[in-house]
């Protein structure tokens, strides 16, 4: 299938599913029905694109409890890949608020009760994290890309602190998730989705204690090390050599 045809089919699918999600919003307070539609959408995107998933480590998780999944970020295809890989969970993304204004997709993202984070200041970011905490209390799991954006080189950028602050606030385990190969499937700055395989590796959940708020730097380093260890020997890991992790500060920053 040509790249143009793939893009046309995915765009058409989005234009069909998006309005359904938006129309459901008044009758779907928690966004559970919308998420079922979203899963059908992500499954179709991967099939149209010719993308296969190889998922490892799901046996480490308890499908009956919420988690905060922290994943490296290489490509826009990461979101459909994670939704499919973690199919036993109702996921809510923490995404930058600018995405909410994307026609159809962004509108559907907002009305289906994902969390739009405002990174313009600490107070705004904390408000977003409190909304995420409420979602976790309702039984939803949260997905965060702690790099805050896709890495320009395909490596692992420094981590922001918001996901770790949220984990302490909500007292739920953090799960490091490593995505391998998505940057090759759909590189940054490119619209052509290649056929291929994306690897998803789920690590052991990390239990969070209240005192971890004083050790966010160590917690961040632990999660980042877990992801880098899974990337060891891959192109993504080799491109990380020149990158250094965000240095701890005296104050826990909520942005992220």
Domain map (residue ranges) of the chain = 3-238
Q: Of 118 and 218, which is predicted with more confidence? A: 218
3-state SS class at 251: coil
pLDDT at 241: 44
Q: What is the CATH number of domain 3-238?
A: 3.40.1130.10
Element (H, E) at 5: helix 3-24
Q: How confident is the model at residue 111 (pLDDT cuts 50, 70, 90)?
A: confident
pLDDT at 179: 96
Lowest mean pLDDT among 25-29, 63-67, 134-138, 167-171: 25-29
Q: Other CB atoms closer than 10 Å to residue 187's CB: what's the count?
A: 16
Specify the pTM.
0.86
**For 163-166, which contacts have Cβ atoms below 8 Å and span 24 or more sequence positions?**
163/68, 163/70, 163/94, 163/256, 164/212, 164/216, 164/219, 164/220, 164/223, 165/129, 165/213, 165/216, 165/252, 165/253, 165/254, 165/256, 166/68, 166/94, 166/129, 166/132, 166/133, 166/136, 166/142
Q: Other CB atoms closer than 10 Å to residue 56's CB: what's the count?
A: 14
3-state DSSP helix/strand/coil % of the chain, to nearest 5: 45, 15, 40
For 95-153, the three-class secondary structure string (H helix, E strand, C coil) is EEHHHHHCCCHHHHHHHCCCEEECCCCHHHHHHHHHHHHHHHHCCCEEEECCCCCCCCC
pLDDT tens per residue across span 117-156:
877 777 888 888 999 999 999 999 999 999 988 866 557 8
pLDDT at 102: 74
Query: Mean pLDDT, the chain, as a whole number?
Result: 85
Report the candidate in 86, 53, 75 with the shortest Cα–Cα distance to residue 182: 75
Asked whether the predicted pLDDT for residue 239 surpasses 70, the reply is: no
């Amino acid at each position: 299938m040509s790249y143009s045809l793939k893009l046309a089919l995915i765009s058409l699918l989005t234009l069909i599913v998006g309005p359904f999600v938006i129309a459901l919003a008044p009758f779907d307070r928690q966004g559970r029905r919308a998420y079922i539609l979203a899963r059908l959408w992500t499954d179709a995107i991967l099939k149209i694109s010719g993308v296969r998933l190889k998922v490892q480590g799901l046996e480490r998780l308890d499908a009956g409890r919420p988690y905060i999944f922290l994943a490296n970020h290489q490509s826009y295809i990461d979101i459909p890949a994670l939704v499919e890989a973690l199919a036993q969970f109702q996921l809510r993304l923490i995404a930058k608020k600018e995405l909410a204004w994307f026609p159809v997709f962004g509108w559907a993202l907002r009305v289906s009760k994902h969390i739009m984070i405002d990174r313009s200041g600490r107070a705004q970011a904390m408000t977003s994290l409190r909304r995420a905490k409420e979602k976790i209390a309702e039984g939803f799991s949260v997905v965060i890309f702690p790099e805050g954006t896709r890495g320009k080189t395909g490596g692992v950028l420094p981590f922001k602190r918001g996901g770790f602050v949220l984990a302490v606030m909500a007292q739920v385990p953090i799960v490091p998730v490593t995505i391998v190969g998505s940057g090759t499937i759909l590189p940054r700055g490119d619209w052509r989705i290649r056929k291929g395989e994306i690897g998803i590796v789920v690590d052991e959940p990390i239990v969070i204690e209240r005192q971890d708020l004083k050790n966010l730097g160590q917690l961040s380093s632990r999660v980042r090390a877990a992801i880098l260890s899974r990337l060891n020997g891959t192109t993504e890991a080799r491109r990380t050599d020149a990158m250094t992790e965000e240095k701890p500060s005296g104050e826990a920053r909520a942005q992220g």
